[in-house]
Structure 1
Amino acid sequence: MTSYVALLHSIILGEGRRVVMADLRQMAERLGYRLPRTLVATGNLIFEAPEQPLAEIESALEKAFLETFDRHVDIIARSADDWLRLADGNPFLAAGEEDPARVHIRVMRSPLRPDAFDGLRSYCTRGERVAVVGGDLWADFGGKASESRLLGASTTKRLGIGTWRNWNTVKGLRRILAG
């Protein structure tokens, strides 16, 4: 068995409706995934399953999500080893440790090209810093991400399928996987 992390792009099902993490864990169990656990109520799922291509896991989770919650949501999966490498690759570690809410990563389904963020530079108007590491986009927002134009410009249309997580979440998932 291999441990995996799955990240939901959104847990919003409609006005006033969100995915309940217990329901998400039950969905994973119905797929035959073992020991499903969640971290905070924002769509972070850890489970064990036979080793298989990530695309197969993502597809199975997305299909089950649609059947369970009647809505399609993009889901990004990583093996535990890949997640630990991702966490170890934080290029803004000092800033993240100082203020974990200011450093985020956009975890991508398909790797970004190193030059992919060139078009985003014009949105870095408050001292934001960005880096592509292992195909994922790291950002030091220099403050609240919600106040940055960069966050809104980092869309699926512009960058491809991906989802943002802050440094606290990255560390929390790493802690669960290492525990």
Structure 2
Amino acid sequence: MPTHIALLRAVNVGGTGKLPMVELKAMAQRIGFDNPRTYIASGNLVFESELPGAEAGAKLEAALAEYAGKPVGVIMRTPEAMTAVCDSNPFPEAPGNRCVVLFLDGAPPADLQDTLKHQASEQVAAGQREIYTHYVDGMGRSKLIIPAARAGTARNMNTVAKLVEMATG
């Protein structure tokens, strides 16, 4: 049965979108996903389903909207696509907690570099459906604004690697 990786948007970040991971796992089981498992409390779900990724994502979004009373975005990836994200990291020398991947539904804007605001030491590169950012001085000190981030969800490379391990191991 195919394995899917769901990345929930704006869950358990800054005191908004509270969703206990035990509830996310139970929700996934209720809607028919097999072997659901979560990683940390930021909305990472790995599961099996015969549904294509887009259909599984839509089904999860519907359940999340019912739970939260508002839309909760979900970005879906296959284990192969997530492995490619790791393999394509343009900043492999960066510590995993300082390299962040912004996952998008589509390609990053062609003028990505021109849209960035308040860029200092941060290094930014476009991927296929991702934007990679190396926060050289740490994310907490950064003032960088990536307008495309409004449509996506971010995970650091440590989390991306762990999700690949969970989905393929």
Mark yes or no: TM-score above 0.5. yes
User: How big is each residue's C-alpha offset from its partner over 1:62-107, in whole Å with a ceiling of 9 and x where there is no partner?
Assistant: 1100112323211111111111111111110111xxx221100000
Task: Give the number of aligned pairs.
Answer: 169
| 2:20 aligned residue | 20
Residue 81 of structure 2 is aligned to residue 101 of structure 1: no
CA distance in 2, matches of 1:61, 1:142: 35
Compute the TM-score of the two structures, normalised by the length of structure 1: 0.85
Quick one: structure 1 residues 4 and 116, their matched pair in 2 at CA, closer, same or farther if it must change by over 3 Å? same
Residue 157 of structure 2 is aligned to residue 163 of structure 1: no
SS at match of 1:62: helix
Percent of counterpart pairs with the same letter? 31
| 1:30 aligned residue | 30
CA distance in 2, matches of 1:37, 1:160: 26
Unpaired segments of 5 or more residues in structure 2? Answer: none
Quick one: structure 1 residues 117 and 50, their matched pair in 2 at CA, closer, same or farther if it must change by over 3 Å? farther
What is the Cα deviation at residue 56 of structure 1? 2.2
1:141 to 135, 139, 152: 135
| 2:162 aligned residue | 172
Higher strand share: 1
| 1:123 aligned residue | 118
Runs of 4+ in 1 over 6 A off after TM superposition: none
Quick one: structure 1 residues 12 and 176, their matched pair in 2 at CA, closer, same or farther if it must change by over 3 Å? closer
Alignment of 1:67-106 (within 5 A): 67-95=66-94, 99-106=95-102
SS at match of 2:113: helix
Given that residues 113 and 135 in structure 1 are in contact (C-alpha distance below 8 angstroms), is that contact kept between their aligned partners in structure 2?
no
Compute the TM-score of the two structures, normalised by the length of structure 2: 0.90
Amino acid at match of 1:123: H
CA distance in 1, matches of 2:133, 2:149: 14
Higher helix share: 1
CA distance in 1, matches of 2:47, 2:38: 9
CA distance in 1, matches of 2:136, 2:42: 23
CA distance in 2, matches of 1:108, 1:115: 15
Given that residues 115 and 146 in structure 2 are in contact (C-alpha distance below 8 angstroms), is that contact kept between their aligned partners in structure 1?
no
CA distance in 2, matches of 1:16, 1:115: 31
Quick one: structure 1 residues 17 and 91, their matched pair in 2 at CA, closer, same or farther if it must change by over 3 Å? closer
CA distance in 2, matches of 1:15, 1:160: 18
What is the Cα deviation at residue 169 of structure 1? 0.5
